[in-house]
Structure 1
Amino acid sequence: MSLASQNNRRPEQLYPHSLYRRASESTDDSIDERRVAPVVDLSVVIPISERYDDVKELYEAYKADLDGTNCSYEIIYVLDGQYAEVLSTLKALLDEGEPIKIIRFARSFGEATALSAGFANSDGPLLLTLPAYYQVEPGAMTRVVDALEQHDMVVGRRSARKDSGFNQLQTRVFYRVQKFITGFELHDLGCGVRGFKRQVVEEVFIYGDQHRFLPIMAQRWGFKVVEVDLPQSSKDRYRRVYRPGVYLRRLLDLLTVFFLGKFTKKPLRFFGLIGSGLAFIGAITLTWLLIDRLFLSEPLGDRPAILAGSLLIVLGIQIFGLGLIGELIIFTHAKELKEYTIEEIIN
């Protein structure tokens, strides 16, 4: 059974939001029906950045797949920069009456920003992100949309990998690193096929390159996230080799996600632990030197350990102070922060 027809529920029942109210159901005759956004079950966001395949060919493949979901849908293309050829193709599709919307940035702002712009300009209670290049075989959209009946977010995992061994090695290494840092088992964060309910993107804010880690952040916030195996496209054979700086940035982004998810409202636990540890090591070092001086008559003037111990104590106090300042900031804005998700209220 498709999501749109389950229990004859309308989209506004799946996600009660005033924007999803049909114009014909409005009791206010003063509302201009042309100004009320049409209701769709599914909003599809496709960011266009550095890598993309034949836009028209891929659009037709996606459209055929989306038609199989039995959901009404809209497709939103977000051009992260100036892509004149892509824009021309999309305008031609729009002129042909295709259900697409085009958003173009004045310059490149990053894929996370492109996705956020697509979400903000979409109407559906359900969202689906797709890559601008081949990643999975046809039929994947139906699996993702069906899985959203029981979960808040669905993450695609390319199974039966057909790309190069180097790509697969990168994926496995990154999976082990992110599992070690976050504790979550998500095997293919590089897959761009993801589905989620609108509440996820309204509750979880992404920026920079953190769109890759949206499933981890959603799990931190208490949303139900599931990974679905999708057959990898035979055309997804592009060997991805990045500069060392790219790998470093992704590792730093992963550490950022870990910190934001675990210590956002408890900065003193993070900085206090590090600062206390450094200060303790410095204190032990100076104590040992003091014992040597008092009981063994060892000179201190030519021992660099005394400088190292003193620096560790000062550094530890400074880091601990950062944690205290963070706690003061959190305390000041505590009422504005929210790190939970209500699944149901029963009266």
Structure 2
Amino acid sequence: MDYELTVIVPLYNEEENLLRVEMELTKYLEIALKKTCILFVNDGSTDGSLSIIKEISARNEAFDYISFDRNYGLSAALKAGFDNVKTPLLGYIDSDLQTDPGDFNLLLEHIDHHDLVTGVRVNRKDSFKKNLSSLIANGIRRSFTNDGMDDTGCPLKVIRTSAAQNIPMFKGLHRFLPAMILLQNGKVVQVPVRHYPRIAGTAKFHIWNRLFGPLMDCFAYLWMKHKYINYHIKEKSTC
């Protein structure tokens, strides 16, 4: 089918959430502004997640999956998703459903004039410690990247696939997606989206990978920015 948007759903040990994910994404497919399919990326789950996404994919033609042999982390799961997308646009949402799939339509309203549209969570429903660590981490990242983004950790994004597949991904770079699009001279914008508390499963992030890890990644980004190759061909002959 001629899909226009692939929504990537990375997951690790989310068996308690996946039937709800199926239900909410199926609802979204009925109202999506672009013809949409879903791609689960199983990051080496050790619970029953793989069996569930196999069942979901078997009964829904718009759902597919890929599965790792072991756990590699969110950046690797996103890269695998980027590499396997065939549609001109891709989206990203977490399997904890703390953001609303329906808000993809808010992002899609802006994608014609941008290369990446990211959500910014309003009235966040996380713990004080989680919100504070995210606030500090985002402030540190902005000071390094000058990307103008308030909430790069928001797990709701739409990206032009051609731009996403040009991102040289490394571990931790999922926090720098807007900055990496800017390195390509692309255009980015953030749009307010809804946020909900996690109602099932367990968060996979803690103070180390929310605060200290991103600080180290900022230096990796600066190195990449200095070394990044970006060019545009003005003319060429044809064979």
The TM-score with structure 2 as length reference comes to 0.87
User: What is the alpha-carbon distance in structure 1 between the residues aligned to residue 58 and residue 151 of structure 2?
Assistant: 37
Correspondence for 1:183: 146
Radius of gyration: which is bigger?
Answer: 1
Q: Deviations over 1:117-171 (max 9, x none)?
A: 1222222100001101122235211111222122110111101222222222122
Q: Is contact 1:53–1:132 with CA below 8 Å preserved after alignment?
A: no
Q: Deviations over 1:282-331 (max 9, x none)?
A: xxxxxxxxxxxxxxxxxxxxxxxxxxxxxxxxxxxxxxxxxxxxxxxxxx
User: What is the alpha-carbon distance in structure 2 between the residues aligned to residue 341 and residue 66 of structure 1?
Assistant: 36
Please list every run of 5 or more consecutive structure 2 residues that lacks an aligned counterpart in the other structure.
none
- For residues 29-68 of structure 1, the aligned pairs below 5 Å read 38-49=1-12, 53-68=16-31
Correspondence for 1:205: 168
What's the secondary structure of 2:151's corresponding residue?
coil
Q: Which amino acid aligns with 2:79?
A: S
Which structure: greater helix fraction?
1
Correspondence for 1:194: 157
Q: Deviations over 1:226-275 (max 9, x none)?
A: 011101124479788725476332211122112211x216xxxxxxxxxx
Q: Is contact 2:147–2:178 with CA below 8 Å preserved after alignment?
A: no
Q: Deviations over 1:20-56 (max 9, x none)?
A: xxxxxxxxxxxxxxxxxx4311111111125675101
Among candidates 255, 261, 265, match of residue 219 of structure 2: 255
User: What is the alpha-carbon distance in structure 2 between the residues aligned to residue 128 and residue 104 of structure 1?
Assistant: 18
After TM superposition, where is structure 1 displaced by more than 6 Å over at least 4 residues in a row? 236-241
Q: Is contact 1:66–1:142 with CA below 8 Å preserved after alignment?
A: no
Correspondence for 1:156: 119
- For residues 149-298 of structure 1, the aligned pairs below 5 Å read 149-235=112-198, 242-244=206-208, 247-261=211-225, 263-264=226-227
User: What is the alpha-carbon distance in structure 2 between the residues aligned to residue 85 and residue 239 of structure 1?
Assistant: 17
Q: Is contact 1:154–1:195 with CA below 8 Å preserved after alignment?
A: yes
Among candidates 121, 125, 136, match of residue 88 of structure 2: 125
Please list every run of 5 or more consecutive structure 1 residues that lacks an aligned counterpart in the other structure.
1-37, 266-337
Residues 163 and 249 of structure 1, relative CA distance in 2, 3 Å threshold:
closer
User: What is the alpha-carbon distance in structure 2 between the residues aligned to residue 123 and residue 137 of structure 1?
Assistant: 24
Which structure: greater strand fraction?
2
Q: Is contact 2:99–2:155 with CA below 8 Å preserved after alignment?
A: no
Instruction: Give aligned-pair identity as a percent.
Output: 24
Q: Is contact 2:10–2:40 with CA below 8 Å preserved after alignment?
A: yes
How many residues end up aligned between the 2 structures?
234
What's the secondary structure of 2:109's corresponding residue?
helix
